[in-house]
Amino acid sequence: MKVSSRGEYALRALLVLGQQQGKVCPINEIAKQTLVTVKYLEQILLQLRKLGYVHSKRGIQGGYMLRLSPTDINIGEVIRQIEGPLSPMGCASTTAYVPCPLEDKCLLKPLWTVVRDTIARVLEKTTLDDLLNKRITTGMGGESFVKNEN
């Protein structure tokens, strides 16, 4: 799985809006904080609005704000909706499976499945609130996980 600029910028925009929770944030301000052009950001925010993550308000006092609470925005879901399947290879995908001509003999599929499951596990356990409150950490062996507060 490779996250495109569109996926990264969508997450950046959600983070900016999460930091301004409850306030309408003008697109120029979001662009300034995310380092994304207004033109490209308009496309991304339109997609986020259609997906139900943000509201838009027109006019002089217009802009964008989160539609959902940061605790209700799952990063795995956002990435899947923006980018598509999380699997690095079609043969290991659960949502967009593509058969491999070497399927019966392939020794790589188990690796791609582990990669898919690891990525999915981390992203599915992560909310926008976790990112806003810096609850992501890296373990000693390099593994990343969301810190539990319980």
Number of domains composing the chain: 2
Is residue 76, in this structure, part of any structural domain at all? no
Residue 128's domain comprises 86-146
Residue burial 45-70, b: 16+ Cβ < 10 Å; e: rest: beebeeeebbeeeeeeeebbbbbeeb
Q: Quick: pLDDT tens for 48-58.
A: 999 999 999 99
**Domain containing 22 — which CATH number?**
1.10.10.10
What is the separation of C-alpha 135 from the centre of its chain, rounded to a whole number of angstroms?
16
Is residue 80, in this structure, part of any structural domain at all? no
Tokens 């490779």 map to which residue? 2
Is residue 71, in this structure, part of any structural domain at all? no
Q: pLDDT tier at 24 (50, 70, 90 boundaries)?
A: very high
Is residue 74, in this structure, part of any structural domain at all? no
90, pLDDT greater than 50: yes
Is residue 47, in this structure, part of any structural domain at all? yes
pTM: 0.84
Residues 60, 112 within the same domain: no
Residues 91, 60 within the same domain: no
Question: What pLDDT is recorded for position 148?
Answer: 58
Are 86 and 123 in contact by the 8 Å Cβ rule? The answer is yes
